[in-house]
Amino acid sequence: MNLGISLVKKAYHSTWRAFKAHPVVFLPFLIFALIDLISLIILYLAPSMPFKLLFGPIIRTFWGEAFLHYPSNFLLLSHLSSLARMVLSVVFGSLLTGMAVFLIFEIYNKKHLNLKAAFKTALKLYLYFFIIVFLMNMIYYFAGRLVNIGLYKYFVSGHTKLLFWGARAWLGPFLIAINMVIAVFVQALLIYAIPVLVVEKTKLLKSIIRSAVLFKQLFIPTIILVALPALIYIPMIILNTNTSFLIQKFFPEFILLVAFLNVIISGLIIDPLITAAATFLYLDHKEKRA
């Protein structure tokens, strides 16, 4: 346990020094945050012309006409933003994460940073990165859906309690906690796949297996590295699951502010911290085993 904590401290220290000495490493995360922000603005404008021509039929089909009108459109904004971020993380985030990992690898080896070389390397491996991030998102999404549906069916079938607690607890705070645990474990399981691809230049399947093996070998530090920054996001999760209350308590546009904070916290704090620290942890471990 103490060894695990010391490895985490070292990884965070290396991350802090890297971002401080080489701000360019932060660029891929900044680019993704800007893409995410543009997506949020478009979704906010979805009920308005000309965006309504594209998004109107989709929203009307899956959620209903009411969500194309004020203030109900804000009730859907957080959910749409979350879905969009999932897609963007696969399409753009995978490439940008690969770039960031390459730059961190260059820093670790005390080499001159070259954004063009980082982009070319990430582009060559883009398909692999795409598949890894897609797999991560799909496992998380369907695992969360299974838990959600399972709990809902359990209580709808007539049960009033599960392990001494009722539906209100299980479908509220407990469900949030379960989804967070799932997210941490899924990300921790595949967190080393992209660094392995960049550094070891292995095949896709081998990188995924290698990531799972590293997760087992570095279980405690990996869980801490992924879970600790994720704790910052808990207030945002609570806000996102209480949009109706926020609209009644404040005003509908408050949801847009929450969604904006989501972009800042996840894209500019959590993602850089997890990606960089996990990469440094992997490189330290690899060097010790060499």
Query: Do 129 and 197 form a contact (C-beta atoms < 8 A)?
Result: yes
Look at residues 31, 205, 79, 213 and name the one whose alpha carbon lies nearest to residue 135. 205
What is the total count of domains within the chain?
1
Strand partners for 165: 162
In this structure, the dihedral spanned by the alpha carbons of residues 246, 250, 255 and 261, taken in order and rounded to 10 degrees, is -100
Q: What is the residue-level pLDDT of the chain in tens, covering all 290 positions?
A: 665 678 888 899 999 999 998 999 999 999 999 999 999 999 989 888 888 888 888 888 888 788 888 878 888 888 888 889 999 999 999 999 999 999 999 999 888 888 999 999 999 999 999 999 999 999 998 998 898 888 888 878 877 777 777 777 777 777 888 888 899 999 999 999 999 999 988 889 999 999 999 999 999 999 999 998 888 888 777 777 777 777 777 777 788 888 898 889 988 999 999 999 999 999 988 888 76
Distance between CA atoms of residues 50 and 177, nearest Å: 39
Place of tokens 């996001």: 233
Q: Whose CA is closest to 101, among 279, 286, 285, 287?
A: 279
162 - beta bridge partners? 165
Could you tell me the pTM of the whole model? 0.89
Domain that holds residue 125: 2-289
φ and ψ at 192, to 5 degrees? -95, -5
